[in-house]
Amino acid sequence: MDPSDTVAVVAGKFTARAIRFMGAGLGSNLPGKLARRFAPTVLTKLSQQAKSGVIAVTGTNGKSTTSGLLSSILRAAGLELVHNKQGANLVAGITASLVESASWSGKLSADYCLFETDEAALPLIAREVKLTQVVVTNLFRDQLDRFGELDTTAKLIARGILENKTQAILNADDPNVSQLVPECPRIFFGIESVKGQTEKQSTMPDGMGPQSMELSYCAQCGAETKYSLVFYGQLGHWSCTSCDYKRPVPRVKASDVEVGPTGSTFTLTIDERQGDAVVPLPGMFNVYNALAAAASAASIGVTIETIRQGLKNYQTLFGRSERVVISGKNVLIQLIKNPAGASQAISAVAADPQARILIAINDNYADGRDISWLWDADFEQLAAHTKKLIVSGQRAEDMAVRMKYAGVANESIHTEPKLDKALDQALDMVQSGETLWILPTYTCLLEMQKILKARGVSLAGT
């Protein structure tokens, strides 16, 4: 490394320590910004020290959980990683994670760098880092005020992959993903079957609308796609309505999937090898996250036995199906930020007969200013929920109106804009054997983190 790169690392490390010492945060972004001021090449110089390569995980939903599951698998395989597990997934945050992991002289000891990467940041990262592999989880509408149309996001991801003709790990069941970058080496993952589901059926509950399904079109002829199976949103077994183009055959797949409020089980198949897999996370969306991680790991030679072990032993990340105990009460925190992700989180809540619910909605920049997505999420799944339900945050009143139109009884909806008070009220509701599900947008999650820290409760990564 050049002297300027070493100075950049030292400056970044001092900055991170100062931020944490003052209690001003985790130092997951500013140290990276400062390091890049001293040496614009520091990201390149540090990342190229990874012995085996650099993996980026991107997509609309599941980036943090997929990278966390992959980290668990790779560590189970005995590999040493640099991982931006705090979720700072822009260029500065990724740089900061490398600076933090490097020695004071700028030396990095790692087999792989594993980066959760924002969709818009992927092409920027790819210009500075030679990516070995890019994992794409799914593509849904998200923060329309930032990304615009879905096609824009797809083009950004494709540009990042094509920068170095990188190997792509793609979701076979999402036509918006599986049709990406045919010029590059691709490995597909997908769900083959869900227990009790037959063709022409959907896993969506009765009465649940298709709000989170994105229209998709054939990359060959432009016609719309059709489905023989739908698992959620537009994820399923698809084919073109006009030509013979269809869902690719996945190399890594899940069969006989069973989803419960505390986790999922399925038969994992990788090439010709099979084994029972357990994922300690609720929701169909987390089955896909597990498959994405498994496909990435399998592509670099990790055995199916180690993959199963890594999935089973996964420890949750900050606000992603994270389980904590607060005042002796069981709590599960799941970030929501767009229709598809929220719909899946709601589905997991609806499947838990012992659920108590707190939904917290802000509309700060990091959340996305446009909250119209609340009307596209399938809150109708909670219509049968007769217990008291609390809504909070800057847009608590809007959320209360949304719950009313979703069919939740007026007397069940309680509005408390102040999150600390809402949390206390929600905890008071929880009886023995029940779980409080907290569904916050991003800045509500950060506020929750501060509230809990003041009460002596630490969330993951803090």
Q: What is the pLDDT of residues 363-406, one digit of tens each?
A: 998 888 889 999 999 999 999 888 999 999 999 999 999 999 99
Task: Give the β-pairing of 186-191 and 273-279.
Answer: unpaired
Total count of residues recorded for the chain: 462
Alpha helices in 304-391 (DSSP H): 304-312, 339-350
pLDDT score for 201: 54
What is the pLDDT tens value at each position of the chain, 462 positions in all?
788 889 999 999 988 888 877 776 666 789 999 999 999 999 999 999 999 999 999 999 999 999 999 999 999 999 999 999 988 899 999 999 999 999 999 999 999 999 999 999 999 999 999 999 999 999 987 655 455 578 899 999 999 999 999 999 999 999 999 999 999 999 999 999 998 877 655 544 433 344 456 667 888 898 988 999 999 989 999 999 999 999 999 999 999 999 988 899 999 999 989 999 999 999 999 999 999 999 999 999 999 999 999 999 999 888 888 999 999 999 999 999 999 899 999 999 998 989 999 999 999 988 888 899 999 999 999 998 889 999 999 999 999 999 999 999 999 999 999 999 999 999 999 999 999 999 999 999 999 999 998 998 988 765
DSSP string, 91-142: HHHHHHHHHHHS-TTS----SEEEEE--TTTHHHHHHHS--SEEEE------
Question: Catalytic positions, please?
Answer: 370
pLDDT score at 461: 60
Query: What is d(CA 101, CA 191) in angstroms, rounded to the nearest whole number?
Result: 36
- Ramachandran class of 429: left when φ > 0, alpha when ψ lies in -120 to 50, beta otherwise: alpha
**8-state DSSP, 437:** E
* Domains of the chain with bracketed CATH: 3-312 (3.40.1190.10), 320-454 (3.90.190.20)
Nearest to 171 by CA among 194, 137, 133: 137
pLDDT tens digits along 151-198: 899 999 999 999 999 999 999 999 999 999 999 999 999 999 998 877
